[in-house]
């Protein structure tokens, strides 16, 4: 009985396996014809890669393709080739095959270039098919009908363009914000798609100069959501192709802020014309180069200091707050310094006064110079000439830091030279590490503008200089000792050689 | 005292033998005779410094690198011992190579000295083994990856490759087990084999004497081995000691050339990414480069397998030269084999220079750079080749340049014309064969005329 059960089980299993093999969906006759179609020169239209992609699709997607071919939503091999050529993931392919809007608009036989979703037009242009299928909304199932209305599963559906003004849509684009906010300001709706995404964008936008200009002044130059995020190819901010990806933010903002025609007539809070040099300045700044040249995504860009949806120029009091996001140590020291009060009295932007704003250059120790042209000296002569002790303090900062910097360079070169001579430089390297750390710390502690605080920070570095000098001297003495040892050895060996030579001559003369 | 010893051990015949022993003086430079002694001197230095290093070296995952670091930084004169050991190893290989080639060119391998040649050849292979095994012992990053690359070559040996690799490494990968094996080989197995072979080599030299010039059975003149030759040997050894001490003090980590650099650097880390631009020691560069010149597959076999086969054939030919050189066998000049020696030198030079990436502009692996390397190395080797040919023709009145010519043709086709290494080699070999056969036919079937 037991044997019989096992046998029956095996038969069932093998039948099941056979049935599973049989359940594989084969292309319908129409789809097969499309897959096998050849062009005028007799070359297959579906490439081997596309064919291989098709073979790898699951049964459900093959059924959907059969359905689309049978209903002639896909009726041309060239059209099928474009769709298979997208090499979409199964999830996206399923979304695409459910969407008659895309199926129809991606066939060049049905559409003129102005309504065709083509893969050959420039990415980012109005209707690039790759953009459409990469759109963050498409990926989450909100396709054309999500904005345009209509039924994407219907055979023909142009019951759309109901969701926005019929007329003058481009003249007053305030409706765009309200349109996007239907979902993006509704926590309940957003919860269905991405619960982690904030829903306060509209509220923030309303508080921003951008929002004020668009919503209250109805200025058609003012940006709306699509100005920064795009329309049909909207991607998550972490996608390098997104217009709001960290490295693309400067260009996105610069599209308007570096354009003199767009910014004409727009003024700052103090009434001065809004400059258009920020992008060019930022590109050459230490921050811009870190982000754009070195690819440091932690480097600040426009929105780091100005905000995103609530973007606004930071006020004098806010500048240091923006800087302190990253430079917290410098900011903390400055807040406790005498300069804090003085700067406030002059209504100077704290960090920006010395380091500028968009064109922040790499800091250098010469900034501390009290000579003409030096930052400290020039400012103090103009505003604090009655405090000569401040100039002395600045001199002290400058000299101490310059001393440590020079010692570090000198000892590094010395250490390399000694290492190449085979001497143990580990103790010197340890002291150099201490010196480098202290130098970095001392440069930060300049922002305390206090001699005693700075002295405390710099003390280990100065001690390291003394210690390194001693170690270097010992290493040089050791090398000198080796050289003397070598000389002595050579003399001894030389004498022995001479003795042998003389003996040899004597022996050969004798024989 | 001497009488007391002699009564017990009968050493008088030995002293008499040594007293009458002479070194032949011929038409060639006497300096070639001293190279064996110089090599022996470097070997003795290796033994002495090796024993001193052993007093501090502790093989082990956590101790190999650390003990060498301790030795070179904390132990008095530890740096000097390690530096001399490393310098002496390289100088020993240089002097041994010169000794081998000078023996070959002077045809000192001819009867009755065939076994002396073979024992010397085996000593040469053992010396390379010393270099290879000693390289890993500091267990630093460079040595680790160089050994990984080096031992991997064994994998290409047909049929036995996988087994041999495991035997060599003590497992699939280079681990501390590999170091234990290399350590045992470096300080026990190789020295025992080396001492045995060197004993045989010296015994044969003492028994048969040094080879007189070709064409004579006894040299027209001779130099007394004791004291004239021995004292000259001693003088040279002292000069070598001076050289070693100077190099060790001024260039303690080597001259800084890839493959001749023994700075300790970082400790080996099997999980670290492979060392970029890893190269073997300079004396293995020609094999390394030859392996690179072979395609992945050739004649249905793996390229490296074919390459190893070619290397084995070349090394085999080198070992049996005394039996191949029939003219030297009859105590006659054999210009073809002199030419073979010079061809071998140019062949090794070209490959070694390419292995060193001489002439590399950017990354050494991009095609433009590889072409540039081949071009530059070809020019240097051709220049050396032309000098060799002119000097041989003018100074030594040699007239047989077929093999040297084939090697130079190969270099021109590969380095200057841009052909693949193997196609260029095939053309050169065919050209050499045609010329040799034509010479034979013109010589009316007389191989002596051809050779």
For B199-251, what is each residue's pLDDT tens digit? 999 999 988 888 888 877 666 677 888 888 999 999 999 999 999 999 999 99
Cβ-based contacts of B238 with chain A (< 8 Å):
493, 496-497, 500
Domain boundaries, chain B: 1-259+292-304, 334-451
Q: Which two tokens stand for residue A399?
A: 């000299």
Overall average pLDDT of the A209-237 stretch: 91
Q: Would you call A509 an interface residue with chain B, using a CB distance cutoff of 8 Å?
A: no
Q: Between A127 and A147, where is the model more confident?
A: A147
Asked if A481 is an interface residue toward chain B (Cβ–Cβ < 8 A), one would say no
**DSSP codes joined into one string, A249-316:** HHHHHHHHHT-HHHHTT-B-TTSPBPPS-HHHHHHHSHHHHHHHTS--TTS--HHHHH-STT--PPPH
Residue B444 pLDDT greater than 70, yes or no: no
Percentage of chain A lying above the pLDDT 90 cut: 56
Q: Which of A205, A207, A212 is nearest to A226 (CA)?
A: A205
Confidence bin at A480 (pLDDT 50/70/90): very high
Q: Which of B72, B227, B241 sits opposite A493 (nearest CB)?
A: B241
Backbone angles phi, psi at A352, to 5 degrees: -60, -25
Q: Show residues of chain B in contact with A429, CB under 8 Å.
A: none
* pLDDT (mean) for B77-104: 96
Q: Which residue has the tokens 């002097």?
A: B95
| pTM, rounded to two decimals | 0.72
* Tens-place pLDDT, residues B289-323: 999 999 988 888 888 889 999 999 999 999 999 99
Instruction: Provide the β-strand partners of residue B25.
Output: B221
Mean per-residue pLDDT for A176-180?
91
Name the closest residue on chain A to residue B264, using Cα atoms: A422
pLDDT value at position B322? Answer: 95
The ipTM assigned to this model is 0.84
Residue A40 tokens read as 């005028």
Residue-level pLDDT at A126: 59
Average pLDDT, chain B: 90
User: How high is the pLDDT of residue A317?
Assistant: 74
Q: Are B145 and B274 in contact (CB under 8 A)?
A: yes
* Mean pLDDT of the region B120-145: 95
Q: Between residues 402 and 431 of chain A, which touch chain B (CB distance below 8 Å)?
A: 420-422, 424, 426
Does any CB of chain B come closer than 8 Å to the CB of residue A508? yes
Q: How many CB pairs under 8 A join A and B?
A: 50
Distance CA B23, CA A292 (A): 76
Average pLDDT, chain A: 88
Interface contact B231-A500, CB threshold 8 A: yes
pLDDT band at residue A117 under the 50/70/90 scheme? confident
pLDDT at residue B362, as a whole number: 64
Q: Comparing C-alpha atoms, which of A350, A378, A309 is closest to residue A447?
A: A350
- pLDDT at residue number A151: 75
Contact flag A494-B242 (C-beta cutoff 8 Å)? yes
pLDDT value for B72: 92
Test B235 with A489 for CB contact under 8 angstroms: no
Question: If you measure CA to CA, which chain A residue comes closest to B256?
Answer: A420
Q: What is the pLDDT of residues B353-376, one digit of tens each?
A: 999 988 887 665 677 788 899 999
Taking the C-alpha atoms of residue A238 and residue A249, their distance in angstroms, rounded to an integer, is 12
Distance from CA of B134 to the nearest CA of A (A): 20
Tell me the C-alpha distance between A335 and A493, whole Å: 71
Q: How far is it, in rounded angstroms, from Cα B342 to Cα A96? A: 73
Q: How far apart are CA B296 and CA A503, in angstroms?
A: 62
Contact A507 B228 (CB under 8 A): yes
Q: Is pLDDT at A478 greater than 60 in this prediction?
A: yes
**Cα distance between residue A149 and residue A163, in whole Å:** 7
Contacts of A482 in chain B (CB under 8 A): 80, 249
* Closest of A131, A142, A133 to residue A233, by C-alpha: A131
Helix (H, G, I), strand (E, B) or coil at A336: coil
Whether residue B25 lies within 8 A of chain A, CB to CB, comes out as no
Domain covering B1-259+292-304 in this structure, CATH number: 1.20.810.10
Bridge partners of A267, per DSSP, are: A273
Residue of A482, A487, A508 to mutate when probing chain B, most B C-beta within 10 A:
A482
Residues 60-79 of B with CB under 8 A from A: 72-74, 79
Q: By CA distance, what is B82's nearest residue in A? A: A422
Residue A233: what are its φ and ψ, rounded to 5°? -120, 45
Asked whether A149 and A164 are in contact (CB, 8 A), the reply is no
- Per-residue confidence (pLDDT) for residue A6, from 0 to 100: 53
| B14-66 confidence digits (pLDDT tens) | 888 888 888 877 667 788 889 999 999 999 999 999 999 999 999 999 999 99
Chain-chain contact of B238 with A504 (C-beta, under 8 angstroms): no
Is residue B22 classed as helix, strand or coil in its secondary structure?
Answer: strand
Of B228, B239, B252, the CB nearest to A421: B252
Nearest chain A residue (CA) to B83: A422
Asked if omega into B112 is within 30° of 0 (cis), the reply is yes
Using alpha carbons, select from A88, A80, A124 the residue that is nearest to residue A106. Answer: A80
d(CA A420, CA B263): 9
Picking from A482, A485, A493, the nearest residue to B238 by CB comes out as A493
Q: Whose CA is closest to A245, among A287, A185, A292? A: A292
Chain B hits for A504, CB-CB cut-off 8 Å, are 227-228, 231-232, 235
């Amino acid at each position: 009985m037991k044997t019989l059960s096992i046998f029956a089980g095996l038969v069932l299993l093998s039948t099941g396996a056979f049935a599973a093999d049989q359940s594989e969906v084969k292309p319908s006759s129409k789809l097969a014809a499309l897959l096998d179609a050849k062009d005028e020169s007799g070359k297959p239209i579906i490439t081997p890669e596309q064919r291989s992609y098709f073979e790898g699709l699951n049964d459900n997607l093959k059924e959907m393709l059969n359905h689309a071919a049978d209903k002639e939503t896909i009726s041309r091999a060239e059209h099928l080739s474009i769709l298979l050529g997208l090499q979409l993931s199964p999830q996206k392919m399923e979304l695409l095959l459910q969407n008659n809007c895309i199926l129809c608009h991606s066939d060049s036989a049905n559409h003129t270039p102005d309504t065709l979703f083509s893969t050959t037009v420039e990415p980012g242009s109005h209707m690039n098919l790759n953009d459409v299928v990469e759109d963050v909304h498409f990926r989450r199932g909100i396709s054309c009908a999500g904005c345009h209305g209509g039924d994407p599963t219907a055979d023909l559906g142009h019951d759309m363009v109901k969701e926005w003004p019929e007329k003058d849509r481009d003249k007053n684009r305030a409706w765009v914000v309200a349109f996007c906010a239907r979902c993006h300001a509704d926590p309940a709706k957003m919860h269905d798609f991405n619960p982690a995404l904030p829903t306060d964008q509209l509220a923030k936008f309303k508080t921003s100069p951008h929002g004020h200009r668009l919503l209250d002044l109805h200025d058609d130059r003012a940006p709306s959501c699509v100005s920064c995020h795009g329309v049909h190819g909207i991607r998550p901010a972490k996608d390098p192709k997104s217009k709001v990806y960290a490295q693309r933010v400067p260009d996105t903002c610069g599209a308007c802020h570096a354009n003199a025609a767009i910014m004409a007539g727009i003024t700052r809070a103090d009434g001065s014309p809004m400059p258009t040099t920020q992008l060019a300045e930022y590109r050459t700044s230490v921050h811009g180069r870190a982000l754009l040249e070195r690819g440091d995504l932690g480097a600040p860009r426009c929105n780091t200091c100005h905000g995103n949806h609530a973007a606004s120029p930071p006020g004098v009091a806010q500048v240091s707050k923006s800087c302190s996001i990253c430079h917290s140590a410098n900011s903390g020291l400055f807040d406790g310094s005498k300069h804090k009060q003085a700067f406030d009295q002059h209504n100077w932007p704290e960090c920006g006064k010395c380091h500028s704003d968009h064109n922040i250059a790499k800091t250098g120790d010469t900034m501390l110079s009290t000579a003409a042209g030096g930052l400290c000296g020039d400012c103090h002569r103009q505003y604090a000439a009655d405090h000569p002790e401040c100039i002395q303090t600045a001199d002290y900062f400058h000299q101490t830091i310059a001393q440590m910097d020079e010692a570090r360079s000198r000892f590094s070169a010395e250490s390399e030279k000694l290492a190449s001579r085979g001497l143990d430089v580990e103790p010197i390297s340890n002291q150099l590490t201490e010196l480098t750390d202290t130098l970095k710390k001392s440069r930060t502690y300049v922002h305390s503008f206090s001699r005693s605080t700075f002295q405390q920070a710099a003390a280990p570095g100065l001690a390291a200089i003394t210690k390194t000098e001693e170690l270097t001297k010992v290493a040089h003495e050791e090398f000198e000792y080796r050289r003397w040892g070598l000389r002595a050895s050579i003399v001894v060996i030389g004498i022995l050689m001479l003795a042998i030579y003389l003996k040899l001559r004597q022996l050969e003369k004798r024989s | 005292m001497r009488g007391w010893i002699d009564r017990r051990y009968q050493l008088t015949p030995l002293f008499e033998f040594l007293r009458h022993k002479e070194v032949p003086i011929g038409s060639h430079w006497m300096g070639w005779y001293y190279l064996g002694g110089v090599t022996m001197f470097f070997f003795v230095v290796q033994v002495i410094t090796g024993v001193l290093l052993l007093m501090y070296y502790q093989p082990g995952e956590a101790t190999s690198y650390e003990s060498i670091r301790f030795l070179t930084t904390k132990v008095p004169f530890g740096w000097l011992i390690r530096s001399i050991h490393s310098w002496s190893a390289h100088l020993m290989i240089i002097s041994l190579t010169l000794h081998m080639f000078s023996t070959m060119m002077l045809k000192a391998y001819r009867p009755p000295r065939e076994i002396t040649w073979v024992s010397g050849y085996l000593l040469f292979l053992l010396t390379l083994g010393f270099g290879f095994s000693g390289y890993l012992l500091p267990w630093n990053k460079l040595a680790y990856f160089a050994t990984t690359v080096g031992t991997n070559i064994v994998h290409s040996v047909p049929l036995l490759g996988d087994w041999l690799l495991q035997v060599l490494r003590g497992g699939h990968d280079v681990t501390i087990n590999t170091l234990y094996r290399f350590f045992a080989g470096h300080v026990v197995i190789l020295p025992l084999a080396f001492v045995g072979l060197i004993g045989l080599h010296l015994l044969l030299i003492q028994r048969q004497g040094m080879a007189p010039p070709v064409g004579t059975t006894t040299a027209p003149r001779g130099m007394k081995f004791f004291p004239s030759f021995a004292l000259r040997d001693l003088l040279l050894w002292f000069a070598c000691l001076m050289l070693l001490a100077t190099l060790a003090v001024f260039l303690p980590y080597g001259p800084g050339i890839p493959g001749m650099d023994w700075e300790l650097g970082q400790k080996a880390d099997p999980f670290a990414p492979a060392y970029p631009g890893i190269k073997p020691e300079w004396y293995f560069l020609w094999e390394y480069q030859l392996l690179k010149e072979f395609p992945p597959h050739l004649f249905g076999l793996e390229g490296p397998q074919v390459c190893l086969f070619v290397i084995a054939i070349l090394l085999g030919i080198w070992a049996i030269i005394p039996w191949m050189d029939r003219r030297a066998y009859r105590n006659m000049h054999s210009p073809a084999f002199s030419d073979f020696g010079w061809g071998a030198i140019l062949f090794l030079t070209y490959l070694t220079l390419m292995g060193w990436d001489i002439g590399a502009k950017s990354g050494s692996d991009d095609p433009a750079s590889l072409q540039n390397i081949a071009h530059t190395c070809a020019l240097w080797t051709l220049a050396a080749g032309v000098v060799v040919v002119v000097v041989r023709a003018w100074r030594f009145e040699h007239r047989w340049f077929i093999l040297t010519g084939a090697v130079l043709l190969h270099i021109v086709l590969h380095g200057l014309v841009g052909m693949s290494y193997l196609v260029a080699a095939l053309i050169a070999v065919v050209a050499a064969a045609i010329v040799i056969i034509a010479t034979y036919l013109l010589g009316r079937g007389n191989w002596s005329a051809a050779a």
